[in-house]
A and B are shown apart, each in its own frame.
Chain A
C-alpha cells in the first residue's frame, strides 16, 4: 500500500481514460485494419490499467484475475484476427476496411 499511495487513484483513471479515448478515436478514424487492431489493444490495456489500479486501491485480487483473463483472451483474439486479416489480404490485396463491405444491405 505504501509507495504507490503517492500517485492518487485519479491519475491512473485519467490515464486509462485518455488511452481508451485514443483507442476509440483510432478505431473510428483509421482505415487500415492493422491500425484498428492496435487501437483495440490500446482500449483493452486502458481497461486493464484501470482494473489494476482499482484492485490495488481496494486490496482485492479480483481485478488482477480479470486482467489475466483479458490478456489471455486478447492474445487469442489477436491471433485469430491477424489470421483473418492475412487471409483477406491474400484474396483482396488490401487491408483497408472500407474496401470490405460485402455485407451491405
Chain B
C-alpha cells in the first residue's frame, strides 16, 4: 500500500491529540491521556516512516511528494495554498520530530506522572509536534511561518508550564519576546522575497533565484541576513541566544524535545532549505558560519562554569547549534543536517538522562522534606552507584558529543570542521571559523566530562538521609534512554564519509534538495592526507579535553551548594555568563522600560490617549449635551412657542 496519500495525517494526528487532551483536560483518566498523547505521535511516526520508505523506492530525482489541502490566502497577487511537501530534507526532519518526539512523549508519562496538569502538558506537547511538523512540511514561506510561530507559542507555553513559579513565567516571556525580534527578520525577508518574485512558494523562488539575483547582490544579501536574524532567534545564536538557558525553567522532557532536538534546529533547517539564496550571497553565508563559530566557542566557555546541570546542557545546545550553522553556512548542508540528526539523538539522551537525575534527587529531597536545589551538580555526585543505567547511557552521549569515534557525534562534527577547513583554502576567513570550532570542541569535551564527573562520580553530596531515597528511574523513562543510546551509537552510520569507506547515505539522500545550491557554490575538496590529519587532530583534541577534565577536576573537593563559597575571578565571570544578561538589561531592557513607562505610558497613554482622546471626547459630548439641555426648560409654554415658530417656518417655506 502506498502510504504517501496519508501524508496529511502526520501533522493532523498530533493536532487531534492536542485538541482532545486540551478540551478534556482534567476529565480524562491519566492512562487515556498518555495513550492519546503518545499514540498520536507514535502513529504519525509510523506513517512518516512508511512515507520515507516509499520515497526511498523512487528514483533520486523524483523524491518529492506534494499534497495540497486547501487554498489558505487568495488575495490579489498573493496565493498561498496549504500544501504539505515531503522531500528528502523534510523527510529527515519529519522522522526526527516524530521519532525522537515519540520517545520523549513516552518518557514524559514517567517524568510528569505525578503532575496535576497532566492533560494540559500532553496537549501542549502534541500541539508543539503539530506545529513543528507544519514548519518542516510546508512548501512555502508563509505556511512555514505559521509553524515557526506555532512552535514559538508552544515553547512559551511549555517553558511557563509551572506558571505559578515567577521565574518560569518570566523565562517564558523572555523566550517569546526575544523570538519576536527574530520573527521580525523572517517577516522582512518574506516581504522582500514576495516583492521580488511575487510568490512565496519554495520551488518557484529557488528555481528563479539564480537568474533573478547577481551573486552577492544587495537584495539577496539582505534577504539572507534577515532570514538569518530569524534563525538567531529561533535557534539561539548570538545575539539572541539569551532565552534558551532560561528556558530550562520548563519541564526537562520539554527541554529535550523543544530546546535540544527539534524547535531550536528550525533555523538550521531554514538555512538548509534556502540554501540557494545563501549560496548566492557570500556575505550572508559568511555571517551564518561566523556567527555559528563564535556562538559555538562563546557558549562553550559559559558551559565550563555552570553548576545547574540543565544549564550546562543548555549552553552546550547553543554551542552545538553554532556548529550546525558553521556547516550550513559553509555550504555543507548534508554535514549540518547530519549534525542536527545526531545532536537530536545524543542531546535528547543527555537531557532525558539529566531529567532522570533531577527526578531522583527531587524525590530524595521530597521524601525528607528538604528544600535544596535538585538541579545543582554540587548537590549530586556519586550517582553512578544509584543509577547505573542513566550513568552508562549519559557517558555514551558524552563521548558522542565530545567527538570520540565511532560514536555519531564524531562523524557529524568532523564533517563540519572538515568542510570549514576545506572552505578556508578558498576563503581564508574560514580558517578562523575552523579554529574556533576546534577550540569549542576542546571545551565541549571538557565541560561534558566535568558534568559527568560531578554528577555521577566522586562522593555523594546529596545528604545523609536523602541518600537512601536515591534510585534509578522507572523503565518507562529508561526505555527511551536506551533507544536513544542505541541511536547515539549507530547514528554515525547514516553518513559515513568516503574517507572511512562509507557510502555517505545522508549526503546522497539530500542531493536532490541541495544540488542547486551546490552547483552555485561547489564544495571544496582537500587531499585525503589532509582529511586524515584533521580527523586525527579532532580526536586528539577531544581526548585532550576529556583527559584534562579528569586531571584538573576534583569531585572530592566539592561541597554542597548551600555551603559553597562564592566564586571569584574568571570563574565568576563565566558563571555569570559574561554578564551578557546584565549588559542587555542595561542597554536594551531598561531604556525600553523607561521609554515605555515615562513616555508611552505617562505621556502618550495617560495624557494623549486617555486625556485628550478618551476623556476629551467625553467632555466634548457633555458640553454639547449641556448646550442642548438649555432648550429643555420643562415649561410647556416655551415648548409651545418653539413649536409654533417651527410650524410657521414650515408653513412659510411650503407656501413660498
Interface positions of A (Cβ within 8 A of B): 24, 27-28, 31, 36, 97-98, 100-105
Known: A28-B637, A28-B640, A104-B634. 6 other contacts (CB 8 A): A24-B644, A97-B637, A101-B634, A104-B633, A105-B628, A105-B629
Question: Could you tell me if B640 and A103 are in contact, using CB atoms closer than 8 angstroms?
Answer: no
Neighbouring B residues of A98 by C-beta, 8 Å: 635, 637
Q: Provided the pairs A24-B644, A28-B641, A28-B644 are in contact, do residues A105 and B635 lie with their beta carbons within 8 angstroms?
A: no
Once bound together, how far apart are the Cα atoms of A100 and B628, in whole Å?
20
Question: Could you tell me if A105 and B632 are in contact, using CB atoms closer than 8 angstroms?
Answer: yes
State the Cβ distance, B645 to closest chain A Cβ, in Å.
10
Residue in chain A with minimal CB distance to B635 = A101
Neighbouring A residues of B640 by C-beta, 8 Å: 27-28
Interface residue? B69 (CB, 8 A): no
Once bound together, how far apart are the Cα atoms of A103 and B629, in whole Å?
11
Question: Could you tell me if B636 and A97 are in contact, using CB atoms closer than 8 angstroms?
Answer: yes
Q: How many A-B residue pairs have CB under 8 A?
A: 32
* Total chain B interface residues with beta-carbon distance under 8 A: 13
Neighbouring A residues of B644 by C-beta, 8 Å: 24, 28
Question: Could you tell me if A100 and B632 are in contact, using CB atoms closer than 8 angstroms?
Answer: no
Neighbouring A residues of B653 by C-beta, 8 Å: none
Question: Could you tell me if A100 and B629 are in contact, using CB atoms closer than 8 angstroms?
Answer: no
Neighbouring A residues of B634 by C-beta, 8 Å: 100-105
Interface residue? B528 (CB, 8 A): no
Once bound together, how far apart are the Cα atoms of A28 and B641, in whole Å?
6
Residue in chain B with minimal CB distance to A97 = B636
22 example contacts (A-B, Cβ-Cβ < 8 A) are as follows: A24-B644, A28-B641, A28-B644, A31-B637, A36-B636, A98-B635, A98-B637, A100-B634, A100-B636, A101-B634, A101-B635, A102-B634, A103-B634, A104-B632, A104-B633, A104-B634, A104-B635, A105-B628, A105-B629, A105-B630, A105-B632, A105-B634
Neighbouring B residues of A101 by C-beta, 8 Å: 633-635
Once bound together, how far apart are the Cα atoms of A36 and B637, in whole Å?
10
State the Cβ distance, B81 to closest chain A Cβ, in Å.
62
Once bound together, how far apart are the Cα atoms of A98 and B641, in whole Å?
14
Once bound together, how far apart are the Cα atoms of A8 and B640, in whole Å?
33
State the Cβ distance, A24 to closest chain B Cβ, in Å.
6
Once bound together, how far apart are the Cα atoms of A7 and B632, in whole Å?
46
Neighbouring A residues of B632 by C-beta, 8 Å: 103-105
Interface residue? B631 (CB, 8 A): yes
Once bound together, how far apart are the Cα atoms of A24 and B644, in whole Å?
8
Q: Provided the pairs A24-B644, A28-B644 are in contact, do residues A105 and B637 lie with their beta carbons within 8 angstroms?
A: no
Query: For A97, A103, A105, which residue has the most chain B Cβ atoms within 10 angstroms?
Result: A105
Question: Could you tell me if A105 and B633 are in contact, using CB atoms closer than 8 angstroms?
Answer: yes
Neighbouring A residues of B631 by C-beta, 8 Å: 105
Neighbouring B residues of A36 by C-beta, 8 Å: 636
Neighbouring A residues of B641 by C-beta, 8 Å: 28
Once bound together, how far apart are the Cα atoms of A79 and B636, in whole Å?
20
Once bound together, how far apart are the Cα atoms of A100 and B636, in whole Å?
8
Query: For B633, B636, B644, which residue has the most chain A Cβ atoms within 10 angstroms?
Result: B636
Once bound together, how far apart are the Cα atoms of A31 and B635, in whole Å?
10
Once bound together, how far apart are the Cα atoms of A27 and B640, in whole Å?
8
9 pairs of A and B residues whose beta carbons are closest in the complex: A105-B632, A101-B634, A105-B629, A104-B634, A103-B634, A97-B636, A101-B635, A27-B640, A104-B633
Neighbouring B residues of A31 by C-beta, 8 Å: 637
Once bound together, how far apart are the Cα atoms of A69 and B636, in whole Å?
27
Once bound together, how far apart are the Cα atoms of A102 and B628, in whole Å?
17
State the Cβ distance, A27 to closest chain B Cβ, in Å.
6
Query: For B629, B632, B633, B634, which residue has the most chain A Cβ atoms within 10 angstroms?
Result: B634
Neighbouring B residues of A100 by C-beta, 8 Å: 634, 636
